[in-house]
Amino acid sequence: MIPFSPPHIDEDIIQEVVAALRSGWITTGPRTKQFEKMLTGFNRNKSTLCVNSATAGLELVLRWFGVGVGDEVIIPAYTYCATANVVLHCGAVPVMVDIVPETFNIDTKQIVAKITERTKVIIPVDIGGYPADYDEINAIVSSAEVMKLFKPQNSVQEKLQRILVMADAAHSLGALYKSRPTGTMCDITVFSFHAVKNLTTAEGGAIAFNLPEPFDCEEVYRYFNILSLHGQSKDALAKMQGKASWRYDVLMPGYKCNMTDIQAAIGIVELSRYRDKILERRKAIFEFYFNAFKEFTWAMLPVFDDGSSKSSYHVFLLRIAGFEETQRDRMIEEIFNRDVAVNVHFQPLPLLSVYKKLGYAMSNFPNAYSNYKCEISLPVYYDLTHEMCQTVVTAVIEAYMSVSCNK
């Protein structure tokens, strides 16, 4: 069986993790700080904090910005539940927007109509690794018409004086938008290093700060460092710097979502070879699939390089023209019967029970449903060989023929 997305773990990673274990630093320590600096250099943003998940990162930002009961946060209807769940955790309302079918990303033309005086944040999501239209979103929140609607409720919102744009870049580390790397496209960007991501730390995430003046992003980093560790004024590393350095204070009722040095050890190795090796291999797999399927009229292929924006090649979102959910599901079964694991990214939020019960209706997001009902995600990972890719292609073609001939 060809698996869908196994983690990339080799001897270099194992040795670095063992070195972390032997160092005595297994919680947040020097490797976590090194990984943060490497990420800041890689993404060219102003500062970066590592946390234990992208979900935690998204929620920390919402809480720092003061999002709460009565507020609204605009998100795409087509995303993983984490994007919406964190809004609910804060007591706010997720306001969903339909997507652009070709890119799976939020339809910027529909955003303005969803903005009200209660809108505090917009969270675009880079589905599959392809960047959303950030210039258009940034232009919307900076327009005079929209800025008039913004009603700041605290000192942080007063400082920004507009809606915050926070990218859910769980899929898009290494992507480029008009030659700019993910992490520099908007106010704050949140990455995921979950086991199935391009770069994994087993579990983990990072918050990339790129806030405009008058914000000091180093100062913001220090605040989040405290916020992510119970509000404690010193982390374990800081408390071990001298005889009297054990004493600390708790400055706020914070959260517990710091990254460990064991996790960072994996990330350090992977990031050091990410651009030249990992992304290049994933790009080659995307191009192999694209060339293999482009002759078939039933294969609707994902956008991953339009000459201006480039994907991180995270998920190959293949759509099957003319298929409904039942046919797509049968095709997935046929592919599995040929010893190839595939997936679906994602069930749109209004299809999930929790959001149905809150009153969200799939009928209000026709593009999201149209993409979902016929989407199949193909395996993409560093260790996927040319021969394995060919096996995937053959399995997909045979599965399509089997289902289409038995409609």
Note the pLDDT of residue 248. Answer: 85
Q: Which two tokens stand for residue 225?
A: 């460092």
- Transcribe 39-95 into DSSP letters: HHHHHT-SEEEEES-HHHHHHHHHHHTT--TT-EEEEESSS-HHHHHHHHHTT-EEE
Residue range 11-272 in CATH 2.102.10.10: no
Residue-wise pLDDT tens digits, 200-216 = 999 999 999 999 999 99
- Mean pLDDT (whole number) for 17-28: 95
Note the pLDDT of residue 377. Answer: 98
Cα–Cα distance, 180 to 272 (Å, whole number)? 19
Residue-wise pLDDT tens digits, 77-109 = 999 999 999 999 999 999 999 999 999 999 999
Q: Where are the domains of the chain?
A: 11-272, 274-404
Cα–Cα distance, 196 to 209 (Å, whole number)? 24
- What top-level class would CATH report for the domain 274-404? alpha beta
Q: Which of 141-145, 236-240, 321-325 has the least mean pLDDT? A: 236-240
Residue-wise pLDDT tens digits, 349-360 = 999 999 999 999
pLDDT at 161 over 70: yes
pLDDT at 282 over 70: yes
Note the pLDDT of residue 245. Answer: 73
Note the pLDDT of residue 239. Answer: 66
- Mean pLDDT (whole number) for 167-184: 97
Note the pLDDT of residue 405. Answer: 84
Asked whether the whole model's pTM tops 0.95, one would answer yes
Note the pLDDT of residue 237. Answer: 74
The answer to whether domain 11-272 and domain 274-404 are alike in fold is no
Note the pLDDT of residue 233. Answer: 86
pLDDT at 234 over 90: no
Q: Which two tokens stand for residue 106?
A: 């939020």
